[in-house]
């Protein structure tokens, strides 16, 4: 009888640890798969954003292709899905494991994976900047604002959105140390930064070769971010 009780207690303890992790990973990933650019281009414009410009299903390419119309829908979709994922991860990990920050980091990574590689759209999505910034604001709004300031400064001076994005995620990662002095957060931040930079690898190559497209307020189709 005592052995059965011990086994049941172990199973319960395992479930308490595993369920929050599995729910955070699965729900966050599938939230990431809800790509505003793809959905709006396919079901409102009867087109596919991935067949235009850079082929990227992100806000920059959407604006270049379709102009300001429906941009608000893309913004709302990609911001909300990231925030929902992070709130869920923080709650589940905080309530069951006492580790809310860890849950936020894991949810951010999974929602970005869903956005970049959505199973619902042939694993061809966006680069995760808008969703990433939205998620980082819930991880630590102070560091996120510093990263945003770096993004706007670099993008305004150079007119390279991709360069601003890469500099912003690196800024967020670097700032984790003075704010937290926590090696685990630095490691998780490095994974997130690496994920975003990997998504921008083609942009980095074009930047090095001087062929990257600069951002303009004029709507046009061209290769770029």
Summarised one tens digit per residue, pLDDT across range 95-135 is 999 999 999 999 999 999 999 999 988 898 888 888 999 99
Q: How high is the mean pLDDT of the chain?
A: 88
Residue with tokens 């994920």: 195
Q: Quick one: pLDDT at residue 222? A: 41
Tokens representing residue 168 in the block: 């912003």
Tokens of 36: 């505003």
Is 90 a residue whose pLDDT tops 90? yes
What is the pLDDT confidence band of residue 71, given thresholds at 50, 70 and 90? confident
Based on its alpha-carbon atoms, the radius of gyration of the chain, rounded to whole angstroms, reads 19
Measured on CA atoms in the order 81, 83, 84, 90, is the torsion positive or negative? Answer: positive
Q: What is the mean pLDDT of residues 156-171?
A: 93
Considering 4-13, 41-50, 187-196, the range whose residues carry the highest mean pLDDT is 187-196
Nearest in space to 155 (alpha carbons), one of 167, 139, 143, 141: 167
User: What share of the chain in percent tops pLDDT 70?
Assistant: 89
What span, in angstroms and rounded, lies between the C-alpha atoms of 172 and 160?
A: 19
The pTM of this model reads 0.86
Residue 55 pLDDT level (bands cut at 50, 70, 90)? confident
Nearest alpha-carbon partner for 225 in 27, 46, 64: 64
């Amino acid at each position: 009888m005592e052995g059965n009780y011990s086994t049941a207690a172990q199973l319960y303890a395992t479930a308490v640890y595993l369920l929050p992790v599995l729910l955070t990973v699965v729900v966050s990933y599938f939230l990431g798969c809800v790509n505003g650019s793809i959905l709006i281009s396919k079901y409102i414009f009867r087109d596919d954003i991935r067949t235009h410009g850079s082929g990227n299903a992100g806000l920059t390419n959407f604006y270049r292709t379709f102009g300001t119309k429906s941009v608000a829908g893309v913004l709302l979709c990609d911001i909300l899905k990231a925030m929902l994922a992070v709130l869920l991860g923080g709650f589940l990990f905080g309530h069951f494991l006492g580790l809310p920050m860890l849950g936020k980091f894991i949810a951010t990574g999974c929602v970005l994976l869903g956005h970049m590689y959505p199973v619902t759209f042939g694993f061809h999505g966006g680069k995760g900047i808008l969703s990433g910034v939205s998620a980082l604001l819930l991880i630590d709004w102070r560091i996120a604002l510093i990263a945003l300031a770096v993004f706007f400064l670099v993008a305004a001076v150079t007119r390279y959105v991709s360069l601003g994005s890469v500099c912003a995620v690196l800024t967020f990662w670097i700032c984790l140390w003075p704010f937290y002095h926590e090696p685990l957060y630095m490691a998780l931040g490095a994974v997130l930064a690496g994920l975003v930079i990997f998504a921008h690898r083609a942009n980095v190559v074009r930047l090095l070769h001087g062929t990257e497209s600069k951002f303009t307020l004029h709507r046009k189709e061209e290769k770029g971010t």
